[in-house]
Amino acid sequence: MEKPSRRNVLMAGGTLGALGALSVATPAQASSLWTWSPKGSVAGAGEGADPRWVWDPEADDLVASLIDRGDVPKVNKLLKQWTKNGQPLPSGLPADLRDFMEEARKVPSWADEDKLATAYQFNEKRGLYLGVTYGFASGMMSTVIPREARAVYYSKGGADMKDRITKTAKLGYDIGTSNAYKPDGEMIVTCVKTRLAHAGVRHLLPQSPHWTKVADEEIPISQRDMMVTWHSLPTTVMQNLKKWKVPIPEAESEAFLHSWQVAAHMLGIKDEYIPKSWDEANAQAKQVLDPLLAPTPEGIKLADMLLNLGAQLDFGLVTKPVLGALTRYVLGDQIADWLKIPRDPLWDPIFETAWEPFIAIREGLLSLEKAPGVVQKAYWAFDEILRLGILLYLSEGDLPISIQIPDANNPNYP
């Protein structure tokens, strides 16, 4: 049976309800039907529609129109001028785009300024760890999220992974600043531009014969796809910090989650899909993220591109084995094997043996002088690896980074 397209859903009078989704699902799809209740969301209620069949119609229709009428190059040039949250939108933008952006830039009424301030304290204390987890837990995990890997590979961003990673890292950097959502911050700008970019991919990617040949969906980046990616960020980050026994006060943990809840809203995710607590986030992730992780040819190639980012520093002689071992340690043997990351006889056991004690030393829970010899030897290397990760993923942070609406797919796969 044909999957419902966004167009068919909208023509039917709105997003599918739970009963409607059941009626059109194949047996294979029915086994993974959406069961997470909107009562567990920040909204506390909702339609309960399967987010696989929900996109971002307001942004999608607008951006499709911009692309079809040839306005994207002009719009992208103008949007380079919009860099701060409170800055007026550039003059000359099409009226329909201006109206959309003025509404899209509004922070949700439920945003808590005190929690956002506490989130900054958390980010300031855990900045180095967050750089590693955003890069090697979240970034590398994206290569084993089949739909995301295919969408990245065949869209315009897949043609320049360094540029794409830099723009993706900007999201993690902006959310960690003290003024993330304030008028002089940049997080709102980054989210709104990313929302527009996603809408462009939704319009263009179905026109790629390379993508349609391998895709198991008619339109990419559904609400469910966005939540999957969201879980690869804060949910996965917090799981790793807990696994590494990083002591985190409950108020800071909740504040970190809140900063990402606001981000989800600003990225166009409906409030009824945004978990209200870590328990709800972990429950949702078990349904929408964990079961779908799998290798794809596109993901394997993307992972290799990411591991080779260090070639600019040492031709990959040292950085690639280190980054591969770090990926294996953070994501586990199965995912590393899927991505064809070879085992490293030197670095693999060092990470297994010394990483958690290294974290304990940085947290003041263990004295370096009293640590095992291998930990003492690895300490400064790990410290440098943390900084290297930030350098690789934000090495262009001193340049203006402008997230743009795509006007074509990956030129290598037209």
How sure is the predictor about 2, in pLDDT bands with cuts at 50, 70 and 90?
very low
pLDDT of residue 16: 25
User: Distances from the Cα of 373 to the Cαs of 41, 354, 370, 378, 379, in angstroms?
Assistant: 47, 10, 9, 9, 10
Taking the C-alpha atoms of residue 378 and residue 224, their distance in angstroms, rounded to an integer, is: 40
Question: pLDDT tens-digit profile of 180-189?
Answer: 999 999 999 9
pLDDT of residue 17: 29
pLDDT of residue 414: 63
Amino acid identity at 148: E
Question: pLDDT tens-digit profile of 247-291?
Answer: 999 999 999 999 999 999 999 999 999 999 999 999 999 999 999
Instruction: Specify which residues 409 forms β-bridges with.
Output: 155
Question: pLDDT tens-digit profile of 206-238?
Answer: 999 999 999 999 999 999 999 999 999 999 999
Taking the C-alpha atoms of residue 206 and residue 303, their distance in angstroms, rounded to an integer, is: 24
Closest CA to 79 of 408, 406, 402, 407: 402
Residue 359, pLDDT > 70, answer yes
- Rounded to an integer, the average pLDDT of 155-174 is 79
| Rg, Å, the chain Cα set | 21
Cα-to-chain-centroid distance, residue 69: 30
Torsion of CA 3, 150, 132, 405, to 10 degrees: -90
Residue 133, pLDDT > 50, answer yes
pLDDT of residue 171: 85
Question: pLDDT tens-digit profile of 188-198?
Answer: 999 999 999 99
Phi, psi of 412, deg, nearest 5 = -75, -15
User: Distances from the Cα of 7 to the Cαs of 4, 10, 26, 215, 336, in angstroms?
Assistant: 8, 5, 19, 18, 38
Taking the C-alpha atoms of residue 218 and residue 205, their distance in angstroms, rounded to an integer, is: 9
pLDDT of residue 32: 61
Tell me the average pLDDT of the chain.
Answer: 86
